[in-house]
């Protein structure tokens, strides 16, 4: 469990808060207007309507006490930059700032952000990969070269074990887990028998996974 501050409660901030709470974290939320967060008020540790570009407001939050501070202001870059910079100056442990533009990311990183996230871009990339490639149910990019893919069990493997198929040696891709009806089994043994109903979570270079997907049909 971590103690987390979220500044800016637009759509992204709201969804971020919901998921952080679901994972058992303690969350304080701050927004200049406080619109549309009524459902979160009984769940968060604290909620405050305030302008965080005001240095006195930020000081009152005790930013040093949070494990992570998220700056989720998407429409006013100047405010996002000022808040990011002041958080770091006040001793915030780790500052994550939201942006949609590379040029903004450079300024945020130079002025206090430990990490910058691009939610719109990242979702767009994930959707593009999922719907461009055949037989991809989900996709997580780890680096520009490596990703995790959720793919079907192809008919050629059904009834055979991972060892029989010689999966790693043949495809240069590793199986992280299998999923059936939403239930995941991580790190299956070499004796695991492929089932036509299961999905496979595989990790490898994008080029190797793409070769695998092109080679087989479900």
Structural domain boundaries enclosing 157 = 122-215
Take residue 137 and report the two structure tokens written for it.
Answer: 């149910």
Measured CA to CA, the distance from residue 112 to residue 105 in angstroms comes to 11
By DSSP bridging, strand 68-71 and strand 115-117 are: unpaired
Same domain, yes or no: 78 and 131: no
Q: What pLDDT does residue 143 have?
A: 85
Which CATH number characterizes residue 137's domain?
3.30.70.1450
Question: 31: number of CA atoms within 13 Å, CB side?
Answer: 20
User: Model pTM?
Assistant: 0.69
Among 95, 117, 139, the domain boundary falls at 117
Give 28-46 pLDDT, tens digit per residue. 999 998 888 999 999 999 9
Q: Does residue 62 sit in the same domain as residue 103?
A: yes
Q: Higher pLDDT residue, 103 or 216?
A: 103
Domain count, the chain: 2
Write the CATH number for 20.
Answer: 3.40.50.720
Same domain, residue pair 77 and 172: no
> By the 8 A CB rule, do 71 and 95 touch?
yes
The rounded distance, in Å, linking the Cα atoms of 97 and 103 is 13
Compute the mean pLDDT over every residue in the chain, rounded to the nearest whole number.
Answer: 92
> Are residues 110 and 32 both part of a single domain?
yes
- Enumerate residues 6+ apart whose C-beta is below 8 A from 125: 141
């Amino acid at each position: 469990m971590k103690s987390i501050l979220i500044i800016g409660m637009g759509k992204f901030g709201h969804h971020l808060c919901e998921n952080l709470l679901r994972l058992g974290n303690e969350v304080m939320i701050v927004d200049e207007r406080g619109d549309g967060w009524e459902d979160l008020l009984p769940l968060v540790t604290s909620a405050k309507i305030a302008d965080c570009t005001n240095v006195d407001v930020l000081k009152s939050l005790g930013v040093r006490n949070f494990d992570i501070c998220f700056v989720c202001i998407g429409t006013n870059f100047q405010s996002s930059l000022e808040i990011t910079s002041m958080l770091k100056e006040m001793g915030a442990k780790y500052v994550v700032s939201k942006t949609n533009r590379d040029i903004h990311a450079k300024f945020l990183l130079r002025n206090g952000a430990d990490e910058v996230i691009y939610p719109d871009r990242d979702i767009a990339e994930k959707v593009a990969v999922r719907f461009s490639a055949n037989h991809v149910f989900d996709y997580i990019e780890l680096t520009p070269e490596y990703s995790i893919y959720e793919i079907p069990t192809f008919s050629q493997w059904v009834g055979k074990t991972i060892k029989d198929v010689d999966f790693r040696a043949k495809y240069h891709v590793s199986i992280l887990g299998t999923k059936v009806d939403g239930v995941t089994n991580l790190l299956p043994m070499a004796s695991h028998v492929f089932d036509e109903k299961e999905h496979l979570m595989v990790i490898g270079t994008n080029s190797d996974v793409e070769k695998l997907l092109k080679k087989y049909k479900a």
